[in-house]
Structure 1
Amino acid sequence: MTLPHLTFAAPPLLDFAAVDENDAVRRTADLLAIGSGITNFGGFVDAVIDRQRINPPLLGNGVAIPHARTVLASEIVCVAARCASPIPFGPEAEPVRLIFLLGIPPHRISEYLELMSVLVKRLRDPEVLNGLLTAETPEEFTRLLA
């Protein structure tokens, strides 16, 4: 099964260190800083962090999917990162190692929902999840989601 409309805006960031949830989200978002379809990078990052505060999108099993539905995204964009060690996310300080960060324009919600459905299904597959946690290269990481 392929992920509809999902192309990573940049190669995944593997095994980076972060001090907390906001730092992890910002470092992942940095992958979108240049040429990604985000029209105001600072505003976009603020929108993602604000969304995290209201209702952090945690999938469980060490996966977070921070995102923002905003006019600051001219197209659906996605980047992925893997933390070197678990970072506490949300009010329950759930340990997260895999981050999939998305920007979604308001007029592309139905495509976003379709994409999320398939992505979440893939991320719940134990083989895929283990592969993402042990992938040695960004290409191997990306291939696991194809």
Structure 2
Amino acid sequence: MSSLALPPNAPLLLDLDVSTEEDAIRAVAGLLKGHPDVTDHAAFVAAVFERQKINPPLLGNGIAMPHARTPQVKEVVFAMARCKQPVPFGDGQTPVRLIFLYGIPPHRVAEHLATTAALARRLRDPAIVQRLLDAPDAEAFVEALS
């Protein structure tokens, strides 16, 4: 399987302890506050929530990929979290444990689609998902993705 090209040093929050989709997204997006490629953090988060209203990107297997294509980011930004307990996402209240949140500037659509497809393919493998859920630390989590 080819290597997944995530932005370097993508922040990761292990054992996120929240009970709602909104709190989960705010916590993961908060990892990108102050990121040099996020020009307006509040507007970026608002864009992610707008995208969630349209069609929450849920992969199944307890995985959510909230994101937004927005001019509030200069380059692709990415943050990840593993929730302590399943958090209900979307209208169907789908239980989610793994969150991969990202922002894409309008000029990087092709890269975004390729990265999303590669990540989705990787996360469809139940063994990889289990490794992510079982990872004892950030290094093991990132290694399971690569």
- Shorter chain as denominator, the TM-score bin is over 0.9
Per the alignment, residue 64 of structure 1 pairs with: 64
Counterpart Cα distance in 2 of 1:37 and 1:145: 23
Which ranges of 4 or more aligned residues in structure 1 deviate by more than 6 Å?
Answer: none
- Do structure 1's residue 82 and structure 2's residue 92 form an aligned pair? no
The aligned runs of 1:1-146 (5 Å cut-off) are 1-4=2-5, 6-146=6-146
Q: Is the 8 A contact 1:10 1:31 kept in 2?
A: no
Structure 2 residue ranges without an equivalent (≥5): none
Q: Is the 8 A contact 1:9 1:36 kept in 2?
A: no
Q: What is the total number of aligned residue pairs between the two structures? A: 145
* Alignment TM-score, normalising by the size of structure 2: 0.95
Counterpart Cα distance in 1 of 2:109 and 2:78: 14
Percent same amino acid at aligned positions?
50
Structure 1 residue ranges without an equivalent (≥5): none
Q: Is the 8 A contact 2:11 2:32 kept in 1?
A: no
Counterpart Cα distance in 2 of 1:102 and 1:41: 12
Q: Is the 8 A contact 2:19 2:88 kept in 1?
A: no
